[in-house]
Structure 1
Amino acid sequence: MEQLLENLIEECQQYVEKGEVASYIPELAKVDKNQLGICVISTTGKVYRAGDYLNSFTIQSVVKTIILLQALIDNGEEFVKERIGVEATGKPFDAINMRAGNLESQHLNPMVNMGAIAMCSLIKGRSEEEKFEKLLNLTRKLACNDSIEVNQDVYLSEKRTGNKNRALAYLLKSYGLIDGDVDAVLDTYFKACSISINCEDLACIGYCFASHGKPPRSDERIFESQYATYVNAILTTCGMYDGSGEFAINVGIPAKSGVGGGIMGVVPTRMGIGIFSPGLDDKGNSYAGIRVLERLSREMFLSIF
Structure 2
Amino acid sequence: MDRTVNDVAQQVSTGAMPGWDRVEALAVQAHARYASNADGHVADYIPGLAAADPELFGLAVGEIDGSVHGAGACETLFSIQSISKAFVYAMVCDAVGHGVIKDRVGVNNTGLSFNSVIAVELNNGHPMNPMVNAGAIATTALVPGATPAEQWEVIRTGLSRFAGRQLELDGEIYHSEMRTNQRNRAIAQLLESYGRIDIDPSDAVDTYTRQCSLRVSARDLAVMGATLADGGVNPVTGERVVSDQVCRDTLAVLASTGMYERSGEWLFEIGLPAKSGVSGGIVAIAPGKGAIGTFSPLLDSAGNSVRGQLATAYLSRALGLNIFASAPAHHSSAPAARKDAV
Q: TM-score range by the shorter chain?
A: over 0.9
In percent, how many aligned pairs have the same letter? Answer: 38
On the 8 A contact 1:97/1:108 being kept in 2, the answer is no
Q: Deviation per CA, 1:97-118: give whole Å up to 9, x if none.
A: 447855233x521100000011
Matched, 1:63 2:84: yes
Q: How many residues align?
A: 302
Residue 11 of structure 1 is matched in structure 2 by 33
Matched letter for residue 139 of structure 2? M
Q: Choose from 210, 215, 227 the match for 2:234.
A: 215
Measure the CA separation in 1 of the matches of 2:164 and 2:236. 11
Residue in 2 aligned with 1:172? 191
Q: Gaps (5+ residues) in structure 1?
A: none
The equivalent of 1:236 in structure 2 is 255
SS at match of 2:283: strand
How many Å apart are 1:297 and its aligned residue? 1.1
Distance change in 2, residues 1:217/1:180 (3 Å) = closer
Contact 1:89 1:97 in 2 (8 A): no
For the residue of structure 2 that corresponds to 1:65, the secondary structure is helix
Residue in structure 2 matched with residue 144 of structure 1 by the alignment: 164
User: Taking structure 1 as reference, are residues 196 and 220 closer, same or farther at Cα in structure 2, changes over 3 Å only?
Assistant: closer
The structural deviation recorded for 1:73 is 2.1
Aligned to 2:68: 47
Show CA shifts across 1:217-251 (max 9, x none): 45532211100000000000000000111110111
Aligned match of 2:303: 284
Residue 2 (str. 1) matches residue 21 (str. 2)? no
Name 1:119's counterpart in structure 2.
139
- Equivalent residue for 1:258, pick from 277, 284, 306: 277
- 1:226 is aligned to 245
User: What secondary structure is seen at the aligned counterpart in 1 of 2:211?
Assistant: helix
Q: TM-score, normalised by structure 1?
A: 0.96
Superposed displacement of residue 171, structure 1: 1.1
For 2:322 and 2:53, the matched residues in 1 are separated by 31
1:129 aligns with 2:149: yes
Matching residue within 32, 35, 53 for 2:53: 32
Q: What RMSD over aligned residues (CA atoms) do the two structures have, in Å? A: 1.3
- What is the CA–CA distance in structure 2 between the aligned matches of 1:54 and 1:25, rounded to whole Å? 23
List structure 1 runs of 4+ shifted beyond 6 angstroms: none
In structure 2, how many angstroms separate the alpha carbons of the residues matched to 1:101 and 1:144?
40
Decide which moves more: 2-11 or 225-234: 2-11
Q: Which has the higher helix share?
A: 1
What's the TM-score once normalised by structure 2's chain length?
0.86
Is the CA contact (8 Å cut-off) linking 1:132 and 1:188 kept in structure 2?
yes
> Deviations along 1:239-292, whole A, 9 cap, x unmatched?
000011111011110110000100011100001211000110001000110000
* Partner amino acid, structure 2, of 1:183: S
Would you say the 8 A contact 1:59–1:260 is kept in 2?
yes
1:293 counterpart (312, 331, 334): 312
